[in-house]
């Protein structure tokens, strides 16, 4: 090595060696645990909540200054809202020498976040106004959560959601102007999120993956993928917090999900089986479930072919329905036709008489369930099934705002779409009124024969068409 280059290299090596010795000395003799109260106070100021470090504190100097905090808990108004087994925090060394803590990056191991809404509608993360006014800006080059868990509970409704085994890798996190209302308007972030499982009171999804891009109060989750009901879902979600009330736009397709996985909560034994496609495009706006229901607008479509139902021969039952009426037609409508919308209304009433059969076999060759939703009211557009010999169609509205059936009729129809038998349902979802089936058999014998004779003489005669949708009559 030329002498002109050798001297600077030796100086650099000596300098690096000196830094290593200083780092070793500091790590051996500087007891950070004695300064735990100051660190907790600084962390609490940054978070705007009470931060408590129950474990030890360590320090490393390469790469950079990194504090390791064990067994960290975050409380707000006396309630724990988060905990982590270990937090690695990258700190600005020069600022630290001036007794100022400036963060560069944070890595949390096995964090658990608890979000609760109490019976008065308040969330456990909400802070008093005086605290809200004094929060400093936050800038992080990187924020990582490994093997995290998110738990949400609404104490008013009993609804809960848990996302487990989550990995979050966020970059360029900026949270400025935290003294202003509408904190999400001040957040900028780009992140990758993956969770192995997401569970609610009734259902479970798997392999949730999405990319998050947010700034200026608008956050896009795209693509948003997961496995649900043994099918593969993909779509996008936009959350807009720039207005007074947040707005959500969801576009999602669930491909080849299993109908039995969706309906098994109705009956663990006999449910329809087969693969179905579901498409939903929805917008909603508000801060409460009630507001979201009132503004829910969009379209929901469910399509399926070659479905199987074990436990009852529907064709045989339809052939004799006018005389036997061994089950409610509205059960057919709820189970086969309304899809996810119908499933939402079955919690308060047993639409399961057709599911309790133990003999027979049915083929549902075609299922179409198209709905248009306006301000929380779903209106049937094209809703029908075709078995080998019959068709059943549904018309009416499902009012999710007031939780009521509105003019819902399920009908067994002939080849021209005219009603052979019908049954109506109305009233609250939890305690509806199911009318008795209405058929030609309710008339006197001679009148029925007269109708049949007229139909034979004038096969092209007019009738009041109940269904004129895309489900063709069986041949």
pLDDT tens for 216-259 read: 899 999 999 999 999 999 999 999 999 889 999 999 999 999 88
Are residues 300 and 252 part of one domain?
yes
| 17-35: average pLDDT | 51
Are residues 244 and 148 part of one domain?
no
Are residues 116 and 177 part of one domain?
yes
Are residues 243 and 133 part of one domain?
no
Are residues 415 and 332 part of one domain?
yes
In this prediction, residue 32 carries a pLDDT of 65
| 82-98: average pLDDT | 75
Q: How far apart are CA 226 and CA 208, in angstroms?
A: 4
| HSE-CB of 448 using CA atoms within 13 angstroms | 10
Lookup result for tokens 């029925």: 448
| Local structure of residue 16 (DSSP, 8 states) | H
Confidence of residue 440 (pLDDT cuts 50, 70, 90): very low
CB-based burial of residue 261 (10 Å sphere; 0-12 exposed, 13-18 middle, 19+ buried)? middle
Angle, alpha carbons 298-333-308 (nearest 5°): 105
In a domain, 6, yes or no: no
Q: How far apart are CA 305 and CA 386, in angstroms?
A: 9
Are residues 461 and 357 part of one domain?
yes
| HSE-CB of 95 using CA atoms within 13 angstroms | 10
Lookup result for tokens 């979050």: 168
In a domain, 367, yes or no: yes
In a domain, 110, yes or no: yes
Are residues 134 and 243 part of one domain?
no
In this prediction, residue 266 carries a pLDDT of 57
In a domain, 336, yes or no: yes
Decide if pLDDT at 92 tops 50.
yes
pLDDT higher for 40 or 192? 192
For 448-462, write each residue's pLDDT tens digit: 333 344 344 344 456
Q: How far apart are CA 210 and CA 237, in angstroms?
A: 10
Note if the bond before 140 is cis, omega within 30 degrees.
no
Instruction: With beta carbons less than 8 A apart as the criterion, state whether 147 and 169 touch.
Output: no
Decide if pLDDT at 147 tops 90.
yes
Confidence of residue 3 (pLDDT cuts 50, 70, 90): very low
Decide if pLDDT at 211 tops 90.
yes
In a domain, 188, yes or no: no
In this prediction, residue 473 carries a pLDDT of 92
| 103-109: average pLDDT | 88
For 365-379, write each residue's pLDDT tens digit: 999 999 999 999 999
DSSP string, 424-468: EEEEESSS-EEPPPEEGGGS-HHHHHHHHHHHHH-TT----BS--
Of residues 249, 202, 199, 246, the one with CA closest to residue 226: 199
Query: Among the listed ranges 4-8, 101-105, 410-414, which one has the minimum average pLDDT value?
Result: 4-8
Q: How far apart are CA 391 and CA 420, in angstroms?
A: 10
Are residues 97 and 27 part of one domain?
yes
Per-residue CA distances from 282 to 279, 301, 411, 468 (Å): 10, 12, 29, 26
Decide if pLDDT at 386 tops 90.
yes
| 410-417: average pLDDT | 92
In a domain, 7, yes or no: no
Per-residue CA distances from 385 to 143, 304, 317, 358, 472 (Å): 51, 9, 15, 22, 9
Residue 356, by phi and psi: left (phi above 0), alpha (psi -120 to 50) or beta?
alpha
Query: Among the listed ranges 6-10, 58-62, 152-156, 186-190, which one has the minimum average pLDDT value?
Result: 6-10
Q: How many domains does the chain have?
A: 2
Domain assignment of residue 280, given as a range: 217-475
| 422-432: average pLDDT | 86
For 154-197, write each residue's pLDDT tens digit: 888 888 999 999 999 999 988 876 555 567 788 899 999 999 99
Decide if pLDDT at 392 tops 50.
yes
Are residues 237 and 177 part of one domain?
no
In this prediction, residue 29 carries a pLDDT of 43
Instruction: With beta carbons less than 8 A apart as the criterion, state whether 214 and 188 touch.
Output: yes
Are residues 108 and 248 part of one domain?
no
Are residues 304 and 251 part of one domain?
yes
Per-residue CA distances from 289 to 157, 218, 229, 250, 294 (Å): 10, 21, 24, 16, 9
Decide if pLDDT at 27 tops 90.
no
The tokens describing 36, both together, are 């735990």
Q: Which residues, 6+ apart, have CB-to-CB distance to 145 below 8 Å?
A: 107, 108, 111, 166, 167, 168
Are residues 150 and 244 part of one domain?
no
The tokens describing 175, both together, are 């949270």
In this prediction, residue 101 carries a pLDDT of 56
In a domain, 1, yes or no: no
Decide if pLDDT at 17 tops 50.
no
Instruction: With beta carbons less than 8 A apart as the criterion, state whether 129 and 179 touch.
Output: no
Mean pLDDT, the chain, integer: 79
Instruction: With beta carbons less than 8 A apart as the criterion, state whether 215 and 240 touch.
Output: no
In a domain, 198, yes or no: no
């Amino acid at each position: 090595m030329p002498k002109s280059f050798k001297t600077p290299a030796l100086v650099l090596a000596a300098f690096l060696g000196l830094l290593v010795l200083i780092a070793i000395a500091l790590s051996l003799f500087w007891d950070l645990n004695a300064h735990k109260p100051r660190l907790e106070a600084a962390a609490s100021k940054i978070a705007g909540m009470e931060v408590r470090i129950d474990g030890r504190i360590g320090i490393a100097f390469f790469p950079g200054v990194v504090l390791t905090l064990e067994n960290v808990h975050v409380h707000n108004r006396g309630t724990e809202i988060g905990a982590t087994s270990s937090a690695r925090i990258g700190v600005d060394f020069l600022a630290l020498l001036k007794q100022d803590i400036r963060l560069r990056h944070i890595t949390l191991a096995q964090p658990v976040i608890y979000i609760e809404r109490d019976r008065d509608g308040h969330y456990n993360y909400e802070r008093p106004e005086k605290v809200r006014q004094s929060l400093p800006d936050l800038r992080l080059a990187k924020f990582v959560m490994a093997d995290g868990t998110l738990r949400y509970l609404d104490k008013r409704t009993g609804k809960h959601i848990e996302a487990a085994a989550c990995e979050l890798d966020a970059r360029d996190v900026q949270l400025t102007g935290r003294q202003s209302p509408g904190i999400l308007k001040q957040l900028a972030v780009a992140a990758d999120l993956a969770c192995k499982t997401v569970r609610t009171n009734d259902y479970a999804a798997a392999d949730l993956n999405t990319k998050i891009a947010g700034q200026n109060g608008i956050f896009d989750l795209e693509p948003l993928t997961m496995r649900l009901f043994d099918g593969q879902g993909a779509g996008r979600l936009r959350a807009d917090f720039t207005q007074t009330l947040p707005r959500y736009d969801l576009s999602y397709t669930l491909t080849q999900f299993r109908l039995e996985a969706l309906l098994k909560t109705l009956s663990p034994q006999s449910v329809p089986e087969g693969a179905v496609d579901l498409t939903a495009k929805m917008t909603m706006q508000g801060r409460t479930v009630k507001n979201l229901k009132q503004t829910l607008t969009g379209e929901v479509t469910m399509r399926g072919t070659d479905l199987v139902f074990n436990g009852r021969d529907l064709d045989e039952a339809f052939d004799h329905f006018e005389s036997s009426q061994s089950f409610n037609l509205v059960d057919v409508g709820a189970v086969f036709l309304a899809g996810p919308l119908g499933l939402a209304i079955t919690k308060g009433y047993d639409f399961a008489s057709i599911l309790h059969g133990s003999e027979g076999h049915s083929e549902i060759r075609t299922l179409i369930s198209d709905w248009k939703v306006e301000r929380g009211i779903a209106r049937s557009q094209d809703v029908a099934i075709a078995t080998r010999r019959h068709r059943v169609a549904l018309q009416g509205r499902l009012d999710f705002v007031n939780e009521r059936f509105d003019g819902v009729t399920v009908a067994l129809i002939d080849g021209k779409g005219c009603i052979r038998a019908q049954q109506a349902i109305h009233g609250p979802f939890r305690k509806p009124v199911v009318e008795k089936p209405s058929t030609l058999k309710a008339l006197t014998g001679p009148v029925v024969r007269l109708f049949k004779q007229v139909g034979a003489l004038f096969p092209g005669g007019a009738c009041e068409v109940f269904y004129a949708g895309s489900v063709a009559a069986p041949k």
